[in-house]
Amino acid sequence: MEIERTMVSRRWVIKTLSCLACAIPISGLASTLHAQAKVSKEQAAYQDKPKGDQSCSNCAHFVPPRACAVVAGDISPDGWSKYWAAKK
Ligand code: SF4
C-alpha cells in the first residue's frame, strides 16, 4: 500500500511538472506572438503627417503618448496610416 501511494505521488509530481514546463514556454510564445501581431510602418503606409482631418490622435487605435495597437514603433499623434479608424 505504501508503494502505491508513492507511485501516485510520483505520477502527480511528474504530471504537474510537465504541465508547468509546457505552460511557461506557451505563455512566453503567446506574448511573443502578441508582440509580433503589430504590422510595420511600411505595411501600414504610415506617414508622420495627418491625412486630411485623419490623424493618429483621433484614431481609435492610438495609444497615448506615442504608440498604436495596430502599428509597431514610435507613433506620432500627428501621424496617419491606412488602418486609421474613427473613435467611437
Ligand atoms: S492605426 Fe494608423 S492612424 Fe491609427 S493610431 Fe495607428 S498608426 Fe495612427
pLDDT in tens, 32-55: 545 568 999 999 999 999 999 999
Find the DSSP H helices in the chain.
2-36
38-88: CATH topology: High-Potential Iron-Sulfur Protein; Chain A (4.10.490)
Top mutation candidate among 53, 59, 76 for ligand 1, by most atoms within 8 Å of CB = 59
pLDDT band with cut points at 50, 70 and 90 for residue 6: low
In short, whether 77's Cβ falls inside 6 Å of ligand 1 is no
pTM, two decimals, is 0.64
* Burial class, 27, CB count within 10 angstroms (exposed 0-12 / middle 13-18 / buried 19+): exposed
